[in-house]
Amino acid sequence: MADSQSRLPDGRPRGRGLGLPFPGKPGPDNAITDVEGVAVGYATLIEGEGAIEVGKGPVRTGVTAILPRTPWRPDASVRAGAFTLNGNGEMTGTHWINEAGYFATPVAITNTHSLGIAHHATVRWITRQFGDDLGAYNWALPVIAETSDAYLNDMNGLHVTEEHVLAALDGAASGPLCEGNVGGGTGMTCYEFKGGTGTASRLVPILGSDYTVGALVQANHGIRPWLTILGVPVGQHLTDGRFKAAESGSIVVVVATDAPLLSIQLQRLARRITIGLGRTGSVSGDSSGDIFLAFSTANADPHAGSGGLSRLEYIPNSRLDGMFLAVVESVEEAIVNALVAAETMIGRDNREVRAIDHGALTELMGRYGRRGD
């Protein structure tokens, strides 16, 4: 097993590093960046402590940026499909994705009240690089999503700035990714443990070719009794440190693939994200914003042909089951990776959200026969 599949860049374990026997074959780094051309960048804001003073902190937030293609250009669009399991949240740009089946901008994920500045700054990033060279209409519709970090963060203080978003976009890179308390996931919680950013990937052989599916999650959802890992009712055993009476969170998931797919097929992939989420125990509560995006980097210029006919390659529907399974498995593992990588955090008003205890988790998984080492 490649070290980056099971360990973070700083050497701490991921889910596989704890011996959790996730099914399927991951890509080289077990990350969304295993899809060639996809790059991810972070801006992480951690400042102050003690009682909240709106506008001053404490600050526990950030931005995650995803470039679907690198080098990015305004004509470097990708086929895409979106799906909303529960709509108590926001992802901009999805009206056009549902209408036309593609988008041509970066993706950014942040906290709920910083969605506007993330949109503004992403447009700034695009126009700084390309000015009026944005195509016939000279406009951009960035895809920006959010979850709420208000339990730990001075979210009303609006601490994310244009510079933070630009830094995340400028810093986007391929290769192994940090997880847990980073980027937009910095102040997020998951099943009443510390949550945040997680990623995973799968390799899928279809029709003689090997394709990659990668997922990135901003996990901020669920209550403890729901938490299930590889079929084990973890949340019913690890009960210390609870702080919620009911679901009040959200999850954003972005899935990328290099497989050639039609927009309607990518919408089908986006719907399968719900099953990966469900494997970890979520029922997608009324207060949750569970919003999903899937895109393909195949078909290099998928909306070309305004002056004539266009042609797309795509995998037949009858051969998509392996892709569906890869989405489910990578989303499930990405959520667990977010939990495993996250570290205990004390935020606003000295609220503490504990990280899941690695020793207690591995001991419990062993009791259920769910250890792979």
The H-assigned helical ranges of the chain are 3-6, 94-100, 115-130, 162-170, 234-237, 263-279, 321-341, 358-367
Query: For residues 300 and 78, what is the distance between their CA atoms, to the nearest angstrom?
Result: 8
357 assigned to active site: no
Active-site residue, from 77, 148, 201, 250:
250
C-alpha 59/C-alpha 97 separation (Å) is: 33
Crossing angle of helices 115-130 and 162-170, in 10° steps, is 60
Active site residue 4: no
Catalytic residue among 174, 248, 282, 288: 288
> Residue 353: beta bridge partners?
345
Quick check: is 3 catalytic?
no
Residue with tokens 């669009």: 77
Identify whether 71 is preceded by a cis peptide bond (ω within 30 of 0): yes
Q: Say which residue the tokens 């902190």 belong to.
A: 57
CB neighbour list of residue 131: distance below 8 Å, 6 or more residues apart: none
8 A C-beta contact, residue 320 and residue 256: no
Active-site residues: which are they? Answer: 250, 288, 290
